[in-house]
Protein backbone atom coordinates (compact mmCIF):
# COMPACT_ATOMS: atom_id res chain seq x y z
CA UNK A 1 0.00 0.00 0.00
CA UNK A 2 2.77 2.58 0.75
CA UNK A 3 4.23 1.96 -2.72
CA UNK A 4 0.83 2.54 -4.30
CA UNK A 5 0.41 5.75 -2.32
CA UNK A 6 3.84 6.97 -3.49
CA UNK A 7 3.04 6.11 -7.09
CA UNK A 8 -0.32 7.88 -6.83
CA UNK A 9 1.25 11.03 -5.37
CA UNK A 10 3.81 11.13 -8.20
CA UNK A 11 1.10 10.80 -10.84
CA UNK A 12 -1.11 13.42 -9.24
CA UNK A 13 -0.17 16.84 -10.59
CA UNK A 14 -0.79 19.96 -8.55
CA UNK A 15 -3.42 21.13 -11.02
CA UNK A 16 -5.30 17.83 -10.99
CA UNK A 17 -5.01 17.67 -7.20
CA UNK A 18 -6.54 21.11 -6.86
CA UNK A 19 -9.39 20.14 -9.17
CA UNK A 20 -10.04 16.96 -7.15
CA UNK A 21 -10.00 18.94 -3.90
CA UNK A 22 -12.54 21.40 -5.35
CA UNK A 23 -14.62 18.55 -6.77
CA UNK A 24 -14.88 16.76 -3.43
CA UNK A 25 -15.64 20.06 -1.69
CA UNK A 26 -18.50 20.69 -4.13
CA UNK A 27 -19.89 17.29 -3.14
CA UNK A 28 -19.69 18.41 0.52
CA UNK A 29 -16.89 15.89 1.05
CA UNK A 30 -14.11 18.00 2.59
CA UNK A 31 -12.68 14.87 4.26
CA UNK A 32 -12.03 13.42 0.80
CA UNK A 33 -10.51 16.76 -0.21
CA UNK A 34 -8.14 16.47 2.74
CA UNK A 35 -7.14 12.92 1.74
CA UNK A 36 -6.15 14.15 -1.73
CA UNK A 37 -4.31 17.13 -0.23
CA UNK A 38 -2.37 14.88 2.14
CA UNK A 39 -1.10 12.75 -0.76
CA UNK A 40 0.45 15.61 -2.70
CA UNK A 41 4.12 16.52 -2.35
CA UNK A 42 5.31 19.23 -2.74
CA UNK A 43 2.46 21.64 -2.09
CA UNK A 44 2.18 25.14 -3.51
CA UNK A 45 0.13 28.18 -2.43
CA UNK A 46 -2.60 27.35 -4.94
CA UNK A 47 -3.05 23.88 -3.40
CA UNK A 48 -3.14 25.34 0.12
CA UNK A 49 -5.79 27.81 -1.06
CA UNK A 50 -7.79 24.91 -2.50
CA UNK A 51 -7.88 22.98 0.78
CA UNK A 52 -8.65 26.11 2.82
CA UNK A 53 -11.49 26.91 0.41
CA UNK A 54 -12.77 23.31 0.55
CA UNK A 55 -13.30 23.58 4.30
CA UNK A 56 -14.37 27.23 4.27
CA UNK A 57 -17.05 26.65 1.62
CA UNK A 58 -18.41 23.73 3.63
CA UNK A 59 -18.70 25.82 6.79
CA UNK A 60 -15.82 24.11 8.58
CA UNK A 61 -14.15 27.36 9.58
CA UNK A 62 -11.97 25.82 12.30
CA UNK A 63 -10.47 23.39 9.77
CA UNK A 64 -9.93 26.23 7.28
CA UNK A 65 -8.04 28.16 9.96
CA UNK A 66 -6.12 25.04 10.95
CA UNK A 67 -4.92 24.58 7.37
CA UNK A 68 -3.98 28.26 7.24
CA UNK A 69 -1.94 27.77 10.40
CA UNK A 70 -0.22 24.74 8.84
CA UNK A 71 0.49 26.76 5.70
CA UNK A 72 2.13 29.47 7.80
CA UNK A 73 4.46 26.77 9.16
CA UNK A 74 5.84 26.17 5.66
CA UNK A 75 8.03 28.38 3.52
CA UNK A 76 4.96 29.34 1.47
CA UNK A 77 3.05 32.48 2.24
CA UNK A 78 -0.61 33.40 1.84
CA UNK A 79 -1.74 35.51 -1.09
CA UNK A 80 -4.68 37.72 -2.02
CA UNK A 81 -6.86 34.62 -2.43
CA UNK A 82 -5.95 32.99 0.89
CA UNK A 83 -6.62 35.84 3.26
CA UNK A 84 -10.26 36.74 2.45
CA UNK A 85 -11.28 33.15 3.32
CA UNK A 86 -9.22 33.26 6.50
CA UNK A 87 -10.68 36.61 7.58
CA UNK A 88 -14.24 35.45 6.81
CA UNK A 89 -13.59 32.29 8.85
CA UNK A 90 -12.44 34.48 11.75
CA UNK A 91 -15.63 36.53 11.36
CA UNK A 92 -17.88 33.47 11.37
CA UNK A 93 -16.17 32.16 14.51
CA UNK A 94 -16.05 35.66 16.10
CA UNK A 95 -12.26 35.35 16.49
CA UNK A 96 -11.54 39.07 16.43
CA UNK A 97 -8.00 38.84 17.85
CA UNK A 98 -6.99 36.24 15.26
CA UNK A 99 -8.57 38.34 12.52
CA UNK A 100 -6.72 41.43 13.70
CA UNK A 101 -3.46 39.47 13.49
CA UNK A 102 -4.35 38.53 9.91
CA UNK A 103 -5.08 42.22 9.24
CA UNK A 104 -1.55 43.04 10.40
CA UNK A 105 -0.12 40.26 8.23
CA UNK A 106 -2.03 41.52 5.18
CA UNK A 107 -0.66 45.02 5.71
CA UNK A 108 2.86 43.67 6.16
CA UNK A 109 2.57 41.66 2.91
CA UNK A 110 1.26 44.71 1.06
CA UNK A 111 -2.09 43.04 0.29
CA UNK A 112 -4.13 45.63 2.15
CA UNK A 113 -5.48 48.31 1.65
CA UNK A 114 -5.39 47.81 -2.14
CA UNK A 115 -7.29 44.48 -2.33
CA UNK A 116 -11.05 45.12 -2.29
CA UNK A 117 -12.06 41.49 -1.60
CA UNK A 118 -9.77 41.40 1.41
CA UNK A 119 -10.94 44.84 2.53
CA UNK A 120 -14.56 43.70 2.31
CA UNK A 121 -13.68 40.66 4.41
CA UNK A 122 -12.18 42.91 7.08
CA UNK A 123 -15.25 45.18 7.01
CA UNK A 124 -17.45 42.08 7.44
CA UNK A 125 -15.32 40.73 10.29
CA UNK A 126 -15.19 43.99 12.23
CA UNK A 127 -18.93 44.55 11.72
CA UNK A 128 -19.85 41.02 12.76
CA UNK A 129 -17.69 41.36 15.87
CA UNK A 130 -19.42 44.64 16.81
CA UNK A 131 -16.53 46.92 15.88
CA UNK A 132 -18.39 49.32 13.56
CA UNK A 133 -15.81 52.07 14.00
CA UNK A 134 -13.02 49.76 12.85
CA UNK A 135 -15.21 48.55 9.96
CA UNK A 136 -15.71 52.16 8.87
CA UNK A 137 -11.98 52.92 9.08
CA UNK A 138 -11.16 49.83 7.00
CA UNK A 139 -13.82 50.78 4.44
CA UNK A 140 -12.26 54.22 4.10
CA UNK A 141 -8.78 52.67 3.62
CA UNK A 142 -9.77 50.45 0.68
CA UNK A 143 -8.12 51.99 -2.37
CA UNK A 144 -9.32 49.59 -5.07
CA UNK A 145 -13.09 49.66 -4.69
CA UNK A 146 -15.39 47.53 -6.78
CA UNK A 147 -18.84 45.95 -6.53
CA UNK A 148 -17.85 44.10 -3.34
CA UNK A 149 -17.18 47.35 -1.51
CA UNK A 150 -19.76 49.67 -3.05
CA UNK A 151 -19.38 52.18 -5.85
CA UNK A 152 -17.07 54.49 -3.95
CA UNK A 153 -19.57 57.36 -3.87
CA UNK A 154 -21.49 56.29 -0.79
CA UNK A 155 -20.95 53.81 1.96
CA UNK A 156 -23.12 50.70 1.67
CA UNK A 157 -24.60 51.32 5.11
CA UNK A 158 -25.70 54.80 4.02
CA UNK A 159 -27.34 53.33 0.92
CA UNK A 160 -29.10 50.81 3.14
CA UNK A 161 -30.22 53.55 5.53
CA UNK A 162 -31.54 55.61 2.61
CA UNK A 163 -33.40 52.60 1.22
CA UNK A 164 -34.90 51.82 4.61
CA UNK A 165 -35.95 55.46 5.07
CA UNK A 166 -37.69 55.43 1.67
CA UNK A 167 -39.41 52.15 2.48
CA UNK A 168 -40.48 53.51 5.86
CA UNK A 169 -41.93 56.65 4.26
CA UNK A 170 -43.83 54.48 1.79
CA UNK A 171 -45.31 52.41 4.63
CA UNK A 172 -46.33 55.57 6.51
CA UNK A 173 -47.98 57.05 3.38
CA UNK A 174 -49.72 53.76 2.61
CA UNK A 175 -50.94 53.47 6.21
CA UNK A 176 -52.29 57.03 6.13
CA UNK A 177 -54.13 56.22 2.91
CA UNK A 178 -55.66 53.06 4.38
CA UNK A 179 -56.71 54.88 7.56
CA UNK A 180 -58.22 57.68 5.46
CA UNK A 181 -60.12 55.19 3.29
CA UNK A 182 -61.43 53.34 6.35
CA UNK A 183 -62.61 56.53 8.05
CA UNK A 184 -64.27 57.70 4.82
CA UNK A 185 -66.03 54.33 4.56
CA UNK A 186 -67.15 54.60 8.19
CA UNK A 187 -68.56 58.09 7.50
CA UNK A 188 -70.47 56.82 4.44
CA UNK A 189 -71.92 53.83 6.29
Task: Report domain extents, the chain.
Answer: 2-154, 155-189
Biggest alpha carbon distance in the chain? Answer: 93
- Residues 95-152: tens digit of each pLDDT: 999 999 999 999 999 988 877 899 999 999 999 999 999 999 999 988 777 655 554 4
DSSP 11: H
pTM confidence score? 0.72
Within its chain, how far is the Cα of 33 from the centroid? 20
Query: Does residue 6 or residue 14 have the better pLDDT?
Result: 14
Q: What is residue 31's predicted lDDT score, i.e. its pLDDT?
A: 94
Q: What is residue 41's predicted lDDT score, i.e. its pLDDT?
A: 87
The Cα 117–Cα 106 span in angstroms is: 12
Q: What is the dihedral of CA 89, 44, 112, 126, to 10 degrees?
A: 10
Contact between 41 and 6 under an 8 Å Cβ cutoff? The reply is no
Q: What is residue 183's predicted lDDT score, i.e. its pLDDT?
A: 45
Residue 73 pLDDT greater than 90, yes or no: yes
Within its chain, how far is the Cα of 150 from the centroid? 16
Q: How many C-beta atoms lie closer than 10 Å to residue 189's C-beta?
A: 5
Q: What is the dihedral of CA 138, 140, 145, 148, to 10 degrees?
A: 50
Q: What is residue 147's predicted lDDT score, i.e. its pLDDT?
A: 55
CATH of domain 2-154: 1.25.40.10
Amino acid sequence: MPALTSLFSLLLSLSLSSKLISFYASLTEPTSSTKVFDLVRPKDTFLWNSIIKAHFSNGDYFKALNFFSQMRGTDLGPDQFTLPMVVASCAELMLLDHGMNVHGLASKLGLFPCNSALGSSFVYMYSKCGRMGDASVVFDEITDRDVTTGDGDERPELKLESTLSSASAMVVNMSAGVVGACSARATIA
